[in-house]
Amino acid sequence: MIRNGHGEASGAKRPGPRARRAVRVWCDGCYDMVHYGHSNQLRQARAMGDHLIVGVHTDEEIAKHKGPPVFTQEERYKMVQAIKWVDEVVPAAPYVTTLETLDKYNCDFCVHGNDITLTVDGRDTYEEVKQAGRYRECKRTQGVSTTDLVGRMLLVTKAHHSSQEMSSEYREYADSFGKCPGGRNPWTGVSQFLQTSQKIIQFASGKEPQPGETVIYVAGAFDLFHIGHVDFLEKVYGLAERPYVIAGLHFDQEVNHYKGKNYPIMNLHERTLSVLACRYVSEVVIGAPYSVTAELLDHFKEPKRRGIFCQVDSGNDLTTDLIVQRIIKNRLEYEARNQKKEAKELAFQEAMRRQEAQPEREIDCDF
């Protein structure tokens, strides 16, 4: 298991084997479209114990309770495993967290954000463990949500870029898009997200390249950090026996210049945290130049020789564009389902009105 310095990054020293029994922590969720908010939840959970086990729900369970996920369960399992604070992933975890599950994996308690998760019939998924006193809460990360990211894609706006203000249209759309039946609005505007040195320190490993380590530099947008990026970085990590991978992230304006549309979907600050959470990355260059220069390589004590470029095939053809297409497809399916339901209800109401107007006639309506 690659620790990637997550224990050292927090400054915490783990006790020896005779000091006390290791505290095992359980987290679970859909982890669809994994972003730095998910990573921050898992970072906080890991800090509460010594071993973090994360259960990930199946596509079937998510579709039943929330609607079809964007990513497949296999993609989601691997995405969660790539987060450096995760020690173990449990596939096909039950949607409702029970004491039986905690006991099965020898977990002391489970951790969830300070927001409510409900089943399709409106039941709190953590009710049983809460009543048993085996539930802990961590702070929800302000400034990001899956709803917000989907809104950025569908609205085709650039308001999320770090140098621009959010439009009233964008906020209004996100408000309406994220409303749940109970009226609670999960909107956490991008303007609320403040990148601080403390947040970067919490995510960073804090390790310098050591003698004998091979420094490998990669660069790109790393937008909507996804399984394609993970597969690529895993391949890069495997190029050396002792790798030290540095990921360069381009400025928002640079990404928009070569990708167009409303890219990047995530601004530079958000992309920084997403990449830092990956276990295969040791360091991030914030606002890296598009062209790799000799000065850049020298800054990281790379060998002076040239001819050191290597092209790596990740074996995964997933791109940010394809993710947007999945989102749109799911959104259209969701809207089509609602429209069909509304049409049925309207037809039923019309039939009832006709029946009331002409009570002597029988109306046989098969809906």
Top pLDDT among 159 and 3 is at: 159
- pLDDT > 70 in the chain, percent: 71
* pLDDT of 91 strictly over 50: yes
Q: What is the pLDDT of residues 300-329, one digit of tens each?
A: 655 444 456 677 777 888 888 888 888 877
Q: Are 117 and 126 in contact (CB under 8 A)?
A: yes
Mean pLDDT of 201-229: 92
Its pTM stands at 0.74
* pLDDT-derived band at 172, boundaries 50, 70, 90: very low
71: left (phi over 0), alpha (psi -120 to 50) or beta: beta
Q: How many CB atoms lie within 10 A of CB 129?
A: 22
Among 34-43, 161-170, 339-348, where is mean pLDDT lowest?
161-170
Give pLDDT, residue 174. Answer: 38
| Nearest CA among 298, 247, 312 for reference residue 276 | 247
Among 1-10, 12-21, 76-85, where is mean pLDDT lowest?
1-10
Residue burial 137-153, b: 16+ Cβ < 10 Å; e: rest: ebebbebbbbbbbbbbb
Residue 117, φ and ψ in degrees, nearest 5: -115, 125
* pLDDT-derived band at 181, boundaries 50, 70, 90: very low
